């Protein structure tokens, strides 16, 4: 059994892919990769990221405060704007954080999918409301 498995292996020069020359080892579990990611950013990127997070939180808090006083609010109306603000803040974080186009393109695709789904699902027609009959007679101008 072992001999047949060894016979099926392909020698390196005949393989279709080449091994990369600069392979970095996997990080040790619990090695603390987050501080390394924060240190690799410039001070400008770090402060801009903090400002974007603070701005997003302030906008969300103001929205929640404003929505509290609306009568007849539906959950869809509240969640639609909340999701849009959150996705815009997340997109700004990715842009300001110094990531390349290749790194943020999948995230933007996901953000667009979320926004499209939420806005499309919530724009369905509302149930008909009772309308009061008009008491006006036919308009003489027509």
How confident is the model over 45-73, as a mean pLDDT?
89
Please indicate, yes or no, whether the overall pTM of this predicted structure exceeds 0.85.
Answer: no
Cα separation of 17 and 93, whole Å?
Answer: 36
How confident is the model over 27-50, as a mean pLDDT?
68
Q: How many CB atoms lie within 10 A of CB 119?
A: 12
Weakest-pLDDT range from 25-34, 49-58, 72-81: 25-34
Separation of CA 130 from chain center: 39
């Amino acid at each position: 059994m072992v001999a047949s498995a060894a016979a099926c292996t392909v020698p390196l020069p005949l393989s279709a892919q080449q091994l990369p020359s600069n392979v970095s080892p996997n990080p040790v579990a619990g090695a603390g990769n987050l501080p390394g990611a924060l240190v690799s950013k410039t001070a400008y990127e770090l402060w801009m990221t903090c400002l974007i997070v603070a701005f997003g939180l302030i906008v969300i808090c103001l929205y929640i405060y404003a929505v509290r006083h609306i009568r007849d609010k539906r959950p869809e109306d509240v969640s639609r704007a909340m999701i849009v603000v959150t996705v815009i803040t997340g997109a700004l974080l990715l842009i300001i954080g110094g990531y390349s186009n290749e790194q943020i393109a999948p995230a933007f695709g996901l953000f667009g999918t979320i926004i499209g789904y939420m806005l499309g699902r919530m724009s369905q027609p509302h149930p008909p409301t009772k309308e009061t009959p008009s008491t006006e007679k036919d308009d003489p101008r027509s």
